[in-house]
Amino acid sequence: MRHAVLFFGLGALFVAGGCNSGPKKTILTGKLHNAGKSILPDKKAGVTMVFLPVEPTGVTYPAAYNSEDDTFQVYGNDSQGIPLGKYKVTISVMALNLTKQLERVNEAYAEGKTPIEVDVTGPELDLDLSKFKPKQ
């Protein structure tokens, strides 16, 4: 009887500890800016950001963007976060009056052209566009 209790106790610990063999994940939060300034002409504009794994997996991770304070969150497709690792980040600005400057931003940071590559190692990311030179 004692062995049965020990066996079931160890089995319960194994199940409670989980058998999560998947990659470590984090819910990513951050701020998008250009040398400390907002990239938006006004708070009525919006931004679409997508995190694309550098090693293509067929999965992309859209960010929830708050134009009031230029912050973003990436919850992942299962709301449990995104795997730690290297990502390309695409950015698209949406505004009622799309200026030439905003059109250049949209072109420079589009999928296949974006120079933004980040290493997600934890839950916070400061994304300063002034540190990423657009491709010519």
Instruction: Note the pLDDT tens digit of each residue in 26-51.
Output: 999 999 999 999 999 888 999 999 99
Longest C-alpha distance within the chain, in Å?
78
CB-based contacts of 8: which residues, under 8 Å, 6+ apart? none
Amino acid 5: pLDDT: 43
Instruction: Note the pLDDT tens digit of each residue in 50-67.
Output: 999 999 899 999 999 999
d(CA 37, CA 111): 23
d(CA 89, CA 115): 8
Q: Which domains does the chain have, with CATH numbers?
A: 21-131 (2.60.40)
Q: Is 60 helix (H, G, I), strand (E, B) or coil?
A: coil
Residue carrying the six token digits 């995104």: 82
CA 54 to chain centre: 12
Q: Is the pLDDT of residue 15 over 70?
A: no
Answer yes or no: are the C-beta atoms of 2 and 96 closer than 8 Å.
Answer: no
Instruction: Note the pLDDT tens digit of each residue in 71-111.
Output: 999 999 999 999 999 999 999 999 998 899 999 999 999 99
